[in-house]
Chain A
Amino acid sequence: MANRVAIVGVGQTHHKSKRLDVNGVELINEAVLRAIEETGVSLRDIDAIVIGNMDHFESINYVDTWSVDGSGAYMKPILKVTTGGSTGTSIAMAGYYHVASGLFDTVLVIGWEKNSESDTTGAIITCSDPVWDRFSYAGAIPSLAAEATAYMKAYGITERDAARVAVRDHTHALNNPFAHLHKNITIDDVLNSPMLSYPIKLLDVCPRSDGACAVIFAAEHKAKKITDSPAWIHAVSTRHNFGWFGDLEYARIPSLELASKEVYKKAGIREPLKELDVIELYQPYSFAGLKWIEAIGLCGPGEAPKLVWDGVTDMDGELPINPSGGVLATNCIGATGLIRVGEAALQVMGKADNRQVSDVKRALATGFGGCFWSDVVLLGKDMPK
């Protein structure tokens, strides 16, 4: 049986399109110092470190070894975990497993990316099969766009429906000083933005950001000493699908359906729309804010636009989604999933400042990776049984 684990602190950099003033080690160090200062632990208290970014984006491999000065890993156990877009949630889950096992009491998890130093699209293309997929695959945007065309046809969803999601998240980001983009946009702004890959337009999709995030996980006896308001890990799940893009079902996203079902079952949740208080959804483009909330069971297939247009997922709605602004406002890929978990933790801890949702007892964070695999993490204010 797993021991109880809580998140006791979160630190992140102010995300930007180019951090010309720092190298990778220095960027990582910034987030680590912020988490440590915020939490009041010292580096001596950290028993292990988990770190991740996108494989070969910045073309300096083995970050676990070269970032030791900045990560605090000098003479400590450190593990690199890198799983594409879901890296941030994978490292969170790995940090959780470290502590839940009983082998480590306090674990520092670091996600980071200097997207400005990467050829993002080229590097993502190398995740595709060199013979079967690479000649046609053009990176994350067109494959997500293909998912959108299948979804639109199946349920009559429109670009306007997706634009409403984009407006929501960009509006939410205005409350988040750490977010990369602070744009006051309208639905027409989204619809008139340049078409990158039909139907995805510039304002439908995430930016490329430089940034880092550090989150501290602690065992029950430590967590209670460190903070009065720990964010307990209630359940986590990961599901992987196929390896070649042509093997996937495009009308659904089965990995997210199954991962969220497993989390709800573990936590005893029957009606997520009612029982969750806030969601930080890994949503790299606007249409996902419709299709993927159906996958996590907030409503039936094709019903998401009504939920979103009714304001249910806005800050003053029944179930706010992405109070941080989400991935549309900030995407330092290796950190992005960890930021979802960190922001969900801040909501539970009551430390989300201007983006705080009131009365948060349960917060859901998700992660997504290139060939449509999914992570789901549930955090709660009450200690799990």
Chain B
Amino acid sequence: MSGLLTLRGVTADRLGQLLDAGQRHVEMIGSGASAPVTLARRTVTIAFFEPSTRTRLSFEKAAMTLGATVLTLGQESSSTVKGESFRDTIETLTALGSDALVVRHHLADAAELAARWSGIPVVNAGVGRREHPTQTLIDALTLRQHFGTLHGLRMGIVGDVRNSRVARGHLNALPTMGVELTLIGPSTLLPDANPWGARTSHSLDEELGDLDVVYLLRIQRERGAGTGLPSEPSYHLRYGMSEERLSLLKPTSMIMHAGPMNRGVEIDDAVADGERSLILSQVANGVPMRMAVLEDALGGRS
């Protein structure tokens, strides 16, 4: 049973192979060629127990492009609403003939448990605050395309690190590929013990001049981030990526955001839509990178 549950402990070689496979799909899509249907007659079940638009759609498109049969279980239609246990739902989806599950859940160990209970490959599509590994791979691919290499890049992850599954995925994998991470934000929104040993800072302005990439995180009000802040305007004052702050960056430095964005809080319009932004490249890399992950999980490498 393979799949992709976590990037923690994954070697640089393996990460590089996944990115190479993603890049091949980027190029194939760019050339207008149709992808080989490496997942024909395979059933990929997209099991989302939490609201999501972009991740769900991009996994659906990735699986369909590779010729898989795609079943989608949305949060609103799931029987968990009727009180069915997570375990029973997973076992039912497996019994329906799924060859792989793509799991999004608000609880941290959901993907791991789905893998144990189903016995088939599971791709973690974002669990709890723990990890969102495909987003990390997408961002790594985006960085590699833009800068040529990840080695030696300095990235500042700014804002609500505590509540961010994206940040944890980055912490688990980007240093393995040579990225130096600095966590920047108010102490209430940074990790408690920082087991990754990343640098931390409470001043965005002091850090900006040293960074190659500024990765902005959404303030997750729904996870209680608001209670760790005096107010959003107060956050914006010290940590919001405004047009003025762009002038503190090196000319080569870029801005990233995993979306959805809270414009006017962590990022201003002029930054999100400006020429320093890699945000649309991140979105464009979503489908090809996820195609590579699904092929890898199902052993259908092209």
B is bound to A = no
Residues of B bordering A, CB below 8 Å: none
Residues of A bordering B, CB below 8 Å: none
